[in-house]
Structure 1
């Protein structure tokens, strides 16, 4: 049986826009967009949880909260742990998978990006993915961007506005563009 485009991407394949399976991405994104319109139009916390469950395929834990609006392109590749707070305007591109551990704080206007394009201009219209992992107890500050393939370590802090292109060790504060280690947390 031929793998679907999402399996191929997550397996490390760069998939061009001309790929015959590319329509699967558009179909999945359209389904998610329809649900996001409804999710982002409600102030009812339980309705947000229910709709997030439809988008991701996994219910949002009762101890976690997503402030609207929130944006995700596919959704079924995002996992959110317990006691997580996601502030307004979080944007997630999740075809490479996004895993958010327990006790995580995500500030407003944060970008979690698991998708990228090849550097070579001749291949740039292809899509590639790498997972993003936010480990337990991490805090992602307002306006920070986490790039594909990055793991933010346990209890670490990403300063507001940082662009993180390398893994963040556990118990570390990083900041800047590109993010650099500022200090260790005792």
Structure 2
């Protein structure tokens, strides 16, 4: 089953079941203005109705796009994170939270980071977070593999790639980002800027 189909299958139960710590997103959005891209927006967990911010969403799952569309985004488009359907420099900031580790090839992960860089304005910032080995369930997991998920009697498998902080730092810098902040715990969180 393709990953797009997996996420279509789990969209509604995922929205109901998953509770996220979004404190890194809330902190990142402080004092921000303008257009925000929520890349890999899923059901819209990162959307906040904040004065001065216009949220746009992109996700490759048709079902997730439908759920996010009800949240209040200016618009939500169906597209992959490696082919963002917006012009160069369109966004003031990008949220790319808990998505990159779900992208199922090194080439697509690299292209996704290049797309974040491309759609950001000069001086724009991005929050990029991935699962980290600080999560007990990931300590001994293979670097690359699948995580099972049940939807009723149907079982599906979500792809995951487990980064370490130095690897992700290297990829972000190689795309051209300046690293502003790094946090490592349950997740690895980078705040980066396009110069």
TM > 0.5 fold call: no
Question: Which structure's CA Rg is the greater one?
Answer: 1
TM-score bracket, shorter-length normalisation = under 0.3
Of structures 1 and 2, the one with the larger relative CO (CA 8 A, separation 6+) is 2
Which structure carries more helix by proportion? 2
Q: TM-score, normalised by structure 2?
A: 0.23
Which structure carries more strand by proportion? 2
